[in-house]
Structure formats: structure tokens, C-alpha cells
Amino acid sequence: MPIEQIPFPYVRIRGKVIAMPDGARLGTVFAEAGPLTPPNAPTQWNYITRGKSIVTFTSSNVLEWSVAPEDEADFRPLKAAFEQ
Amino acid sequence: MIRWLVAGIIFGSLVFLASPVQANHYVYLASEANAAGFSQYTWVNNRWAMGAQSHNWCSGFTSTPQGILNALAEWENAVQSSFGPEFVAGCGPSQTFLFLPASAGSIPCPGYVGCLDVSNWGYDSGRQAYYIVTANIWFNTTQYSFTDAGYRYTTGHELGHAYGLHERYLHPPPSIRCNPDENSIMDTATFSGTTVTGGCDGYNLYPDDKTRATLLYDLSPAQNVATYKTGTNSMSQFWDDVNWAESGYQLYFYYWSPSAYSWVQFFSGLHYAGVGPGDPDLPVRLSSGYSKPLYMPSTDYIICGYTHSTARGYLHWVCGQSKFLGGEV
């Protein structure tokens, strides 16, 4: 079976296919709520990170947008997808 | 997804009344796209296609809680009987699971009991599916405390996600609560104050958890096989692929030799289809075919094959119908 361990090639944000910024990594968090978890907090989200930059998002919301100035250009297509 | 939508149309408001209580939790994570737009076929590294025999795990605890070790042993027992990996303690580049207390770094899920952070996804271009390479399992030890049963439940639950299982608790917004209709490690946690004491259904894996997880790795035969003659010298064969994992079909093409009074193999090859873009509730319809060149004999032809995976080997020999190629009999 052909297996490739490759960087995540793209993400699909709100129906639009966006290439991952070069060298960025995509992760997924499955979280378990407890009494200290805010009501209606998500239990699953994704993040894209590179260097000091991280963008955390669910299907409906951007939870955190922390992009370093040197990464802004590469993350611009991602931002545009979230803003559409 | 399609099935759910159809049900929604048919039953209308009944579904929408019921859906907040059930929170639309599928049994498998792969049954829905995540926020990044892909189905999470969370087979775990090493036994996916690499051929390795172990899932290496590493601990960031000064002394790994016994509950973590017990949950690891229970999951090992469950998956080993199906596809063989051992859980081996070992830190380094090949580690699959890393268990961490909140004090070990910046926990990605503050306020939560804990979380599974899939920090590295791999991609199988053949099956067009993503799988876990490495995952960190965090325990929020700064905001919560854990009994041994609490550690065992939390570990078992997060490993359940790693092996592809979705939540099974009820989730009427804004709260989460135990599902009385399920006995599963994927139900929610129980608490005494901010101490995690276990899960709604205890801290053990239940038969449903084991069956559901191993189903992802089991191999099934080709189903609904249909063979057609598509021309004087050509034939096609179709079948349903209901398998999930890194599986395909090792096909063998034969023609009938009257002189030898036996089937003669003249070609074989691996055949598979992408599962990532599709709905895992629905089988993938596969097809193969053969067009006889003039130099091949006019006789009966047949296509057979095994379901194959690197983890499980070759199983379930299935043949289609033979067809005469080379002119009508």
C-alpha cells in the first residue's frame, strides 16, 4: 500500500480549499469537559501552527488568531477564508 | 451524513428535537468532517502500513500513574487480539502516544479535564485518508485532581479517540451528561468537586468499545460482486468495499485452459480506492475489468481476489462469475 508521510497539503475552511502555509503543521484537539469548562465550550477543534504563530478554530468559529508579523503574508489566504 | 440528512427530511422536527440531546455523536470520528474539512480516519501509526509491531508510548510524569498503565494494558489487549500491536514504553521519534501532566508544558485545553492532541497527521495517498502519527494525551493536573480510576478512565477515553471512536455522552447544550443508553468508555467523566473519579460507566472498556474500535481494522470480503461481459473480448467486475483500514484487494486474473483442465493465472495486482473523501457509512463501489488482446485464447475468464492489508494479511477469497471472451459460444 503506498504510504506517504507528508505535511498536510490543504485544509477546507467553510467549503474553500486553502493550501497550508509552507512548513505549517495541523493538529486536532479532542477535549473532555469538566466543571471548570465554560458552558457551550467546544469539545473538538483544529489548529494550524508555524513557529510563533497559531490559529485555532472550530467549524464555526476562530478561537484564537495569533500570527506573528513575519507569518502574516503566508497566513493571509487562511484569514480570507475565515472572513468570507 | 447522507443517511442522517435523509432521516432529517423524513422525520422533520422529530430529528431536530432529538438532535440536541444526542448531540449528533456518531460512533466513529471518521463519520464527520472536522473543522479542517477532512474525515478523521484515526488509525494509529506503526500498525497502519509501516509494518511495525508496536505502539511506542512515553510518559512525562515523574511517576506514571497506575491508572494510565492499566488503561494502556486494557487497550493493548483489545487491539492486539485484532491486529497485533504491543504497547511498548519508549520515548523518541517513533513514539505514538505521549502522556503529559499539565505541569509539563502549555496544555492545549485549559479548563478541560484533559485532551488528546493529535500533533502530527500522516497521509495515505492510496486510500486518501489521514492517520495519527503522534498524539499527546494531556491531564489537566493543575485545575483538576485524578483518582486512580480517574486516570484510568481519562486514558481509556482518549485512547478511544485515538482508535477512532467518537463521544458517546449526551450533549444537550450547554452541558454534557451521562448517556443511560450506553455502556462505553466514550461516555463522559464523573466528578467529586474538581476530582475526576472515573466515567459514567466505570473505567473499563466495554464490549461495544472493543468491537467498534477493532471493526476499523478488520477485513471483510468483497460484497455484492457483479460481473458483466461488456464486449466480445471484454468484461468488468464490480464490488462493494466495506473495509476501513489500509486495505485493498489483491486481484488475480485467470483463463480456463481446456488442455490443462485448470485455471491459468496470467495477471495479478493490488486494487484499492480512496476512502477519505467519502462517507464511511456507505461502501465504496470498486471495479476492475479485462480486455482480451488477440494473442490470448478464446475461453472463459474469471477475476478473483483476497482482501488484503499489511496488518492483517490476505483474507476472504472471492471470485466473480466467469465469462467467455473471444466470441459467443
Nearest to B174 among A17, A32, A40 (CB): A40
Q: What's the pLDDT score for residue B214?
A: 82
Answer yes or no: do B159 and B255 share one domain: no
> What is the model's pLDDT at position B48?
43
Interface with A, mutate which of B26, B98, B109 (most A CBs under 10 A): B109
Closest Cβ–Cβ partner in A26, A29, A31 for B121: A26
Instruction: Determine the structural domain holding residue B171 and report its residue range.
Output: 2-217
Tell me whether residues A46 and B143 touch, CB distance under 8 A: no
Judge if pTM exceeds 0.90: no
CATH number at residue B300: 2.60.40.10
Distance from CA of B102 to the nearest CA of A (A): 14
Among the candidates B162, B185, B217, a domain finishes at B217
B129 and B237 in a single domain? The answer is no
Same structural domain, B209 and B229: no
B196 and B246, same structural domain?
Answer: no
Query: Could you tell me the mean pLDDT of each successive run of 10 residues in chain B, 329 residues long?
Result: 29 28 68 76 49 78 97 90 78 89 95 93 75 90 98 97 90 87 95 98 95 83 96 96 84 98 97 67 84 96 92 90 84
Does position A26 have pLDDT exceeding 50, yes or no?
yes
Q: What pLDDT is recorded for position B31?
A: 78
In a shared domain, residues B90 and B234: no
Of the residues A3, A20, A30, A62, the best mutation for testing chain B's interface (the one with the most B CB atoms within 10 Å of its CB) is A30
Find the residue in B nearest to A31 (Cα).
Answer: B115
Are B170 and B305 within one domain?
no
Tell me the mean pLDDT in the region A17-38. 91
Instruction: Give the number of A-B residue pairs with CB atoms closer than 8 Å.
Output: 132
List the single residue in A with minimal CA-CA distance to B32.
A59
The verdict on B211 and B232 lying in the same domain is no
* Residue where one domain finishes, among candidates B183, B217, B251: B217
Q: What is the pLDDT, as a whole number, of residue B245?
A: 74
pLDDT of the residue at B204: 95
Q: In chain B, how many domains are there?
A: 2
B229 lies in the same domain as B197 = no
Q: What is the pLDDT of residue B15?
A: 26
Domain boundary among B217, B234, B255: B217
Put simply, the answer to whether B36 touches A29 (Cβ < 8 Å) is: no
State which residue of chain A sits closest to B186, comparing Cα positions: A32
Rounded to two decimals, the ipTM of the complex is 0.91
Judge whether B51 is closer than 8 Å to chain A, CB to CB: no
Do B106 and B19 share a structural domain?
Answer: yes
| CB proximity B26 to A under 8 Å | no
Say if residue B280 is preceded by a cis peptide, omega within 30 of 0: no
